Structure 1
Amino acid sequence: MAENDNHNRMTFGGGCFWGMEKHFREEFGSAIRSVQVGYAGGTLANPTYENVCQGDTGHAEAITAIYDPEKVSYRKLLDFFWSIHDPTTKNAQGMDRGTQYRSVVFYHTPEQKTEAENYKKELQASKFNKPIVTEIVEATTFYPAEEYHQNYLKKNPHGYCNHFRRWTQN
């Protein structure tokens, strides 16, 4: 993925990256030009899955994708992101526990930051009784996960996934 794609790049962390990847691919199809699972937001260069699972690198399991803004808006991607995981649980999704499973939007542009912050406020007022703990932070280096993690649930259809759609966009 080229660096000049930042205006059409999204990077989200919301629990196990296997489920995030699967659901984004299924929901948006060709509107998502490319997607990778990996590690974002940490301090260790070139982390491995084992490094990240120790919980001390600061990375979140995340997905990054280039999307086609003619087919899907960033707001719709945000809506879907917030609808397939629980953004009110800190550092946990389902049975997965640790900072690597935190809810986080990594923004690539000032416009994405503003849109994510505004939409988070709207969701807090309209859909959640508990505080949304999703972090909204500037994207830094994204490290692709090992090959066996890419398209994991397609390769392993009975693999663990705790993501499901909680609502649909109005």
Structure 2
Amino acid sequence: MATWEKFATEAPDLAGVVRERFQAFRHHVLATVRHDGSPRVSGTEVSWWGADLVIGSMPSARKALDLRRDGRFALHVNPGDGSMEGGGDVKISGRAVEVVGAEQRAWVEEVRPPSPDSHLFRLDLTEAVTTAVSDDQTHLVITLWRPAEGIRTFHRA
């Protein structure tokens, strides 16, 4: 597991692509684990607060309750027009850690979410993946980063 800051230090070019894709669109798709173990997908927004990649949530929203119980998540960047231009498809996964106490209150004061009781989760990463079409349009180029393994690139026809 790695913080965003560690990811950005270990793989700065890839982290730059991932961040640019997240910032290109406001809404993304978050997958969490329901109480019964089945998946739940929810719309969400991401942001950076300090050195951390974070998501906020309305008080007691299902996605927040899922993450409190089981922090595992997958997050798919909005694919835009589907052309895969501008960095391709981006997904990250890892574990969400709820930020509470003085740090959560400071975030509320700075960001001013709709409710002062909003949840704040820091997203720690187990992997980041980009999928793009090769320059010659003949195959996919998949770039995978994991904390213990670094970057690996795959070509898939």
TM bin, normalised by shorter chain, reads under 0.3
- Structure ranking higher in strand proportion: 2
TM-score (norm 1): 0.26
Greater Cα radius of gyration, structure 1 or 2: 2
- Structure ranking higher in helix proportion: 1
Higher RCO (C-alpha 8 Å, min separation 6)? 1
